[in-house]
Amino acid sequence: MSGVKKAARHVNQNEGVIFEKSSPGKAAWKLPPLDVPEVDASELLGAAERRDLGHMPEVSEIEIIRHFTRLSTWNYAIDLGMYPLGSCTMKYNPRVNEAVSRFDGLANGHPYQPERISQGALRILRTLSDCLLEITGMQAITLQPAAGAHGELTGILLVRAYLQKQGNPRKKILIPDSAHGTNPATAAMAGYAVENLKSNSAGMVDVAALAAQMNEDVAALMLTNPNTLGVFEQEIHKIADILHGKGGLLYMDGANMNALVGKVRPGDFGVDVMHLNLHKTFSTPHGGGGPGSGPVACKNFLEPFLPVPVIVSKADGTLGFDYDRPQSIGRVRAFYGNFGMHIRALAYIMANGPDGLRQTTEDAVLNANYIRKGLEGVYDLPYPTPTMHEVVFSDRMQSKKGVRTGDIAKRLIDYGFHPYTVSFPLIVPGAMMIEPTESESKEELDLFVDAMKSIAEECANVPDMVLEAPHSTRVSRLDEVAAARKPVLRWKPNS
């Protein structure tokens, strides 16, 4: 462990599941006295009355605080250090965003409260919409989708509704082989067949292949740009032309929009519709897997199909919701989307301003290229094409000693880092996908490069050290096969 500079071992507490602490009569709650007459639940509910809540816990407040605090110390987090999960954009989550989202009128506003006492919320939605339109260069937007994949579904439904109105919804969606799994899963949910599009040797869309595959059956191409290799699709104008020439649309998966903000706008390079991940580019916290938010921005010709409701300015100068939209694809979620995330994203945009957002993009790209330079020659770089906010290496050199990308990732944990994204994109065997984001200092990047070099040496000299990693965690590698073969998905007494 001599090569480890960033982390030291540290005592943390054991903790069982909460149910094991429960015993009758303990309580963490107290209700205020009831100011109306008591009721007889049996009389009101009859056979529908419930009398027993099974194994729900009975514990005190201090036990709950310790329980969750102990659990929390078993997690790695951005607040602890670099979290270079490629494609996930684990950037700093500013705390002022948390503070403003908890303001009473915003946190406790009911979605059905009258519009005249909802003007503050509506102004936030409108302002964020305007900012996102300027950032993307698009013309209309919905904030309703709850996450990126939900935005994809919304966007493809817009495409379908538009094509349907032209007389033919078409049959399939083209998806590059480097795409996220959500893209094909989304196409299927929108009733489309999926056709794979091969990447060329530079890791980009093979434009000749696209031209050959494009025909009147293709509704759209779902393109991530920069793609999952971190490569900007340089022939984007040709790609858009080929699609448009045959009446298809260009959908952009905005998962990597953090490489473009302030430098180039999808609306300017031929994109018809796209989603954004507010939990990636716009810093809303990932929270262990959500909530996210996946606004969908589009060109004007798709605007009539946006989900209901849309925000409109009324004659009296106030803002309101418009539900009367006969061509709408319908609603994709109850109410208006993950409003709390909209607040946070807007606070982030305000804190940055135009210059800050541009600098953020530049630093993200600078950081990724700095790592690429530092690790070139140490790990195999399957695509030498210039990259932007992330870089994908492979385990080709290390696998000769039997060490794979997943093992190297586990060893990184011992060095105090969260692993990179393992085995994705699928077009790179043994992929190691690294995205540092702008939130890392030069010192942290240097430590990361050192750690990766040190692990490469271990792969050559003491491969078992890597194969058995991590060595410093509470639990060692867990038996995932057993977990899937005989699933235990809940606690049971005496289990």
Partner 1 sequence: MRYLPKSPADREAMLRALEARSIDDLFASIPAEYRLNRELRLPAQKSEPEILEWFQKCSHENGKGLPSFLGAGAYHHYRPVIIDTIISRGEFLTAYTPYQAEISQGTLQSIFEFQTMICELTGMEVANASMYDGSTAAAEAVMMAMRVSGRRRVVIARSVHPEYREVLVTYGQHQDMPLTTVAFGANGRVDMEELDRVVGQDCACLLVQSPNFFGTIEDVPALADLAHSRGALLVLAIAEAVSLGIVKPPAEADIVAMEAQSFGVPLGFGGPYAGVIATREKYVRQMPGRLVGETRDKHGKRGYVLTLATREQHIRRERATSNICTNQALIALMANVFMTVYGREGLKALARQNLAKAAYAREHFGRHGRVLFEGAPRFHEFVLQTTENPYVINSRLLEENIVGGFPLKKFYPELGNAALWCCTETTARASIDAVAATLARAQTAGRRRPEPEPEVVR
Paired tokens of 117 = 């006492």
Nearer to partner 1, 386 or 400 (CB): 386
Beta bridge partners of 224: 253
Q: How far is the CB of 91 from partner 1 (least distance, A)?
A: 8
Structural tokens at position 28: 């963490």
For residues 148 and 382, which CB has a smaller minimum distance to partner 1 in the complex?
148
Q: Which residues pair with 394 in a beta bridge?
A: 380, 431
Sheet order of strands, 273-276 included: 140-142, 296-298, 273-276, 249-254, 218-224, 172-176, 193-197
Q: How far is the CB of 396 from partner 1 (least distance, A)?
A: 22
Residue pair 111/335 in contact by the 8 Å Cβ criterion: yes
Find the shortest distance in angstroms from Cβ 301 to partner 1. Answer: 20
Q: Smallest distance from the beta carbon of 319 to partner 1, in angstroms?
A: 10
Residue type at position 352: N
Cβ proximity to partner 1: between 3 and 354 the closer is: 354
Closest to partner 1 by CB, 379 vs 424, is 424
Query: Are the beta carbons of 184 and 156 closer than 8 angstroms?
Result: no
Position of tokens 């952009």?
A: 252
Question: Please, what is the minimum distance in Å from the beta carbon of residue 248 to partner 1?
Answer: 17
- Measured from the CB atom, the residue of 378 and 460 that comes closer to partner 1 is 378
- Nearest approach, Cβ of 5 to partner 1 (angstroms)? 18
As measured in angstroms, the least distance from the Cβ of 412 to partner 1 is: 9
Number of residues in the chain: 495
Residues sharing a CB contact under 8 Å with residue 114, sequence separation 6 or more, in sequence order: none
CA dist 271 and 460 (Å) reads: 46
**Minimum Å distance from CB 431 to partner 1?**
13
- Residue 62's H or E segment, with its range, is helix 61-72
Using the minimum distance from each CB to partner 1, give the nearer residue, 409 or 451: 409
Cα angle 44-45-50, degrees, rounded to a multiple of 5: 135
Instruction: Identify which of residues 347 and 427 has a Cβ nearer to partner 1 in the complex.
Output: 347
Q: Which is nearer to partner 1, 149 or 242 (CB)?
A: 149
**Nearest approach, Cβ of residue 328 and partner 1 (Å):** 9
Rounded to whole angstroms, the Cα distance separating 331 from 308 reads: 5
Euclidean distance between CA atoms 494 and 491, whole angstroms: 9
Question: Distances in Å between the alpha carbon of 480 and those of 252, 470, 483, 486, 490?
Answer: 34, 15, 5, 10, 16
Q: How far apart are the first and last CA of the chain?
A: 37
Minimum CB distance to partner 1 smaller for 282 or for 460: 282
Shortest distance (Å) from residue 456 CB to partner 1:
19
Spatial neighbors of 91 by CB under 8 A, at least 6 apart, are 78, 258, 280, 283, 364, 437, 438, 439
CA–CA gap between residue 147 and residue 142 (Å, rounded): 12
- Return the number of the residue (8 or 489) whose C-beta is nearest partner 1: 489
Residue 322 is given by DSSP the state: E
